[in-house]
Structure 1
């Protein structure tokens, strides 16, 4: 397993959280140079997938692409994945159903299913070079009703969504994908191997405001990781939320 491909994330993590909110990772790039990972959410009319299950599938799928054997140094995905991770890990969530979902299976990537909900994370690349069969898929309209997931299993990482920041399912899918990648970037080889054996399974939950405040790494992200095994996703603010907003806190629980 090539874990070094995520090294740039580990190197940038603490510096991201130390930046003023309006500077957090918000680097304007020429449109023709913007790279992103397309996240294809399968949202059929019937049955409609559960929101939580869809987000859990998205988190696992995004990481699975990065740590796939094809992303290793001699693999066919390596250059694309490493160029993306070295820059800004933008993701674009799109929805698909029926024949469009089946067509997306032919584009390089990884599909993950959780409790009947499916997400396909595609190999990242230049946005201007997104295949037409993907670029025609709609970005809007990906919201789903809140649900009531069950209890949290033991020995599974938890991705906690900010209870004060409403997110569409598409935006939340991108954010939990960021969280799973950051978490993997900070893990040692043994922990990452153990997680890989579960298919990078994780759970997504909404904490109370009190829980969120207790989990938050505050001004010491390095210490929070060492002492409490939590990391935060701080958004650049390109869509839906203000720059510097912490959207997800990932908690390692193995």
Structure 2
């Protein structure tokens, strides 16, 4: 988000200059379509669409987003946890044993993806492939220099400094 002409640049910069907080929300159908009018960036995978909206203070949530929540989802890990992801896909590993609601886990995944984009040298190649990710539960397998870790601020569900997620480009050796 370094381009000052990007419409979200100033909102992201103001957000980064404070203590970072992330909130994930879920919408379907008409509620989701109405959110397209808000400043955002969008990612797609098959039929799935994710929108990241301009950061805003927690007490100043846009009216279209205020009623949306993430919940009621039962997410399960794939059977191939021990296998590397496809070439160019970012693997995000949620830390085992750290209890998080679905919304909290989604926020940590988003933060891990953002940190990977900003800090890992393979990010330009990742962008060229459409920002594919796979999310699993598991301890990091990459050395510290080849991954990013999300250390939580401790505002909600976990203790400050808890590493909730790690992300990196795991490849077949």
TM-score higher than 0.5 here? yes
Question: What TM-score comes out, normalization by structure 1 length?
Answer: 0.59
Which residue number in structure 2 is paired with residue 230 of structure 1?
Answer: 147
Q: Which has the larger radius of gyration?
A: 1
Question: What TM-score comes out, normalization by structure 2 length?
Answer: 0.82
* Counterpart Cα distance in 2 of 1:149 and 1:196: 27
When you count helix as a share of all residues, which structure comes out higher?
Answer: 1
The DSSP-based 3-state class of the residue aligned with 2:149 is strand
* Counterpart Cα distance in 2 of 1:88 and 1:206: 26
Specify which of 83, 87, 100 is matched with residue 14 of structure 2. Answer: 83
Specify which of 151, 159, 165 is matched with residue 248 of structure 1. Answer: 165
CA spacing shift, 1:115–1:144, aligned 2, 3 Å? farther
Q: Does the 8 A contact of 2:119 with 2:148 survive in 1?
A: no
Structure 1, unaligned runs of 5 or more: 6-71, 218-223
The DSSP-based 3-state class of the residue aligned with 1:182 is helix
Deviation at 1:140, TM superposition (A): 5.3
Specify which of 40, 49, 68 is matched with residue 118 of structure 1. Answer: 49
Q: Does the 8 A contact of 2:78 with 2:136 survive in 1?
A: no
Which residue number in structure 2 is paired with residue 98 of structure 1?
Answer: 29
Q: Does the 8 A contact of 2:91 with 2:170 survive in 1?
A: yes
* Counterpart Cα distance in 1 of 2:90 and 2:17: 25
Specify which of 121, 138, 143 is matched with residue 73 of structure 2. Answer: 143
* Counterpart Cα distance in 1 of 2:18 and 2:79: 34
Higher RCO, 1 vs 2 (CA within 8 Å, ≥6 residues apart): 1
Deviation at 1:116, TM superposition (A): 3.0
Q: Does the 8 A contact of 1:94 with 1:142 survive in 2?
A: no
Deviation at 1:180, TM superposition (A): 1.3
1:176 aligns with 2:106: no
RMSD over aligned CA atoms reads: 2.4
Q: Which aligned segments of 4 or more residues in structure 1 are displaced greater than 3 angstroms? A: 214-217
The DSSP-based 3-state class of the residue aligned with 1:232 is strand
